Amino acid sequence: MATDVRQDVPLSPEKWRVDFPILDQQIHRQRPLVFLDNAASTQRPNQVIDAMSGAYRQTYANVHRGNHWLSEQSTLQFEAARSAVARFLGSENPREVVFTSGTTAALNLVARAWGEEQLRPGDEILLTEMEHHSNIVPWQQVAARTGAVVRFVPIDAEGRIRPEAVQERLSERTRVFAFAAISNVLATVNPVADFCKLARTRNILTVVDAAQHVPHEPIDVRQWGADLIAFSGHKLLGPTGIGVLYGRFELLDSWPPFLGGGSMIDRVTWDGFTPGEVPARFEAGTPPIVEAIGLHAALDYLGVVGLPAIQQHERRLVEHAIFRLEQEVDGFRLLGPREDRAGIVSFVIDRVHPQDLAIKLDLQGVAIRAGHHCAMPLHEKLGLSASCRASFYLYNTLGEVDYFVDAVGAAVAKLR
């Protein structure tokens, strides 16, 4: 366990980098590794690696159904992880936490378990133009099955979603409003509580994709007022293969199960079955046991570092990166708002293809992302086929930002 720090002291990334063995290496002819692809997936500290290794070495067994010591220990750890997630979100009821394989699975669960039961021809599903494919495709699929219609709230010239634009598109036909708390491309931070309040006055279900929010900024589900929230473990120092669907208990308790099989039942007969209670009803089969234990360790780690400190640190890195890129790289164009943005810098550079730039940076040891970032409609809206994205986290340093900007400048000079 990392040692506690004061939250009013600026975060020192060097203090935490020692916990991340993957960052302590050189690649491509002894170039230092500069990992700036955190919006896609973060790295794992030793505390998470050790927690998962310890579970496999000492206590692993399947959960809930075993009558032996290993199963009891594994079940206790698994359910402790659920309680830790509930506390992290500000929920007083661990049964409001459903473990899934990730944000994508959580959003699909909502679209299938709720959408296929509740939506009718002509009903409207409201999304925004900045959504990740994971919050578009499941709704398009359920719309095709039910006859519902998918509509989008437009972004403005700064890449923001204005509350008045949401208000204009909420209609008497709108049944659900699903939106990202933070754009994975534009770094736009949406006013989640305001959006949820607008929808709640019309009795419209709210679904928040918090994959880019939860690792970086504090969250309190009671303040947000959202019905459902989805996020992934691998974006907040945890393992892949685990995510969370938070939902108000009375809402989840009214839904039928989505997947059938073991664990999600109370009773099965030749003629049918009775579903189990929430959350087991939505966790068919063997769950991500060790992954949940790893997620618990990641949440403990973030609790020590402090999300407010991480948020402030990322803002310093972003402001420094944007300032230097705008000053030193001719043809640089920032995507998204200039101010009040999350720890992501997406951009394009005139006469330089994003893929070419990403390859050149990789040869210098700098890992960024190039492409559409699973947001093709948004890129079409912006008139782009692809963009570059540098994304930061608690272990990134100002020195790495400078190295990245210098590498961009050198690569652009060669590519032109």
What values do phi and psi take at 4, rounded to 5?
-70, 155
Active site residue 374: yes
If you compute the radius of gyration of the chain from its CA atoms, what whole number of angstroms results? 22
> What is the number of residues in the chain?
416
Taking Cα atoms as reference points, which of 402, 212, 216 lies closest to residue 317?
Answer: 402
What values do phi and psi take at 180, rounded to 5?
-85, 140
Contact, 55 vs 77, CB < 8 A? yes
Does an H or E element contain 228, and which?
strand 228-232
Taking Cα atoms as reference points, which of 325, 348, 369, 378 lies closest to residue 160?
Answer: 378
- DSSP sequence for 149-207: EEEEEPP-TTS---HHHHHHH--TTEEEEEEESB-TTT-BB--HHHHHHHHHTTT-EEE
Distance CA 125, CA 117 (A): 14
For the chain, the distance separating the N- and C-terminal CA atoms, rounded to the nearest angstrom, is 48
Which member of 61, 80, 374, 415 is catalytic? 374
Contact, 297 vs 319, CB < 8 A? no
Distance CA 271, CA 82 (A): 33
Locate 211 and state its tokens.
């994959």
Locate 346 and state its tokens.
């997406």
Distance CA 379, CA 236 (A): 26
Which are the catalytic amino acids? 374
